[in-house]
Amino acid sequence: MAEVKPAARPLSPHLQIYRWSWTMAMSVAHRATGAALYGGTLLVALWLIAAASGPGAYDTAQAIAGSVLGRLVLFGYTFVLLHHMVGGLRHFIWDMGHGYDPQTRMNLAKFSGLVSGILTLLVWIVAYAVR
């Protein structure tokens, strides 16, 4: 029987080889926020079901959403939604063929987290001002 020898070829580089960068972090964050949007959308669907079910169910849903924990979850959902949107805009810029040089790519990655945080705060400030 012939003996199988391991191939003498280089292994694919893994995360231990690369130095962590902003673009890598924002790539992971974009994927994580996309996954988190599923949970938040499920909560929105449950709230709509409660609204359609009558005043009792709606009042219960509003009490949960109005609690400290509920507002914290809503704040997080707002951030996740806006962060994913800003990340999508960053990808749109790349799809248009812009922002590929290293400094612009790094700046877009850094600013996407900052911009999504600022937008989240603005949304909540406006929501409380209108309320």
What are the start-end ranges of the H helices in the chain?
22-53, 55-66, 68-95, 102-130
Q: Which residues of 30-40 are buried (b: 16+ CB within 10 A; e: fewer)?
A: beebeebbeeb
Which tens digit of pLDDT belongs to each residue from 53-72? 999 999 999 999 999 999 99
Domain total in the chain:
1
Task: Output the domain CATH number for residue 32.
Answer: 1.20.1300.10
Q: Which residue, chain included where needed, has tokens 């959308």?
A: 41
Query: Are the C-beta atoms of 36 and 80 separated by less than 8 Å?
Result: yes
Which tens digit of pLDDT belongs to each residue from 22-37? 998 999 999 999 999 9
> Encoding tokens for residue 31?
């994927």
Domain assignment of residue 115, given as a range? 22-130
Global pTM reads 0.82
Asked whether residue 45 is assigned to any structural domain, the reply reads yes
Asked whether residue 1 is assigned to any structural domain, the reply reads no
Asked whether residue 7 is assigned to any structural domain, the reply reads no
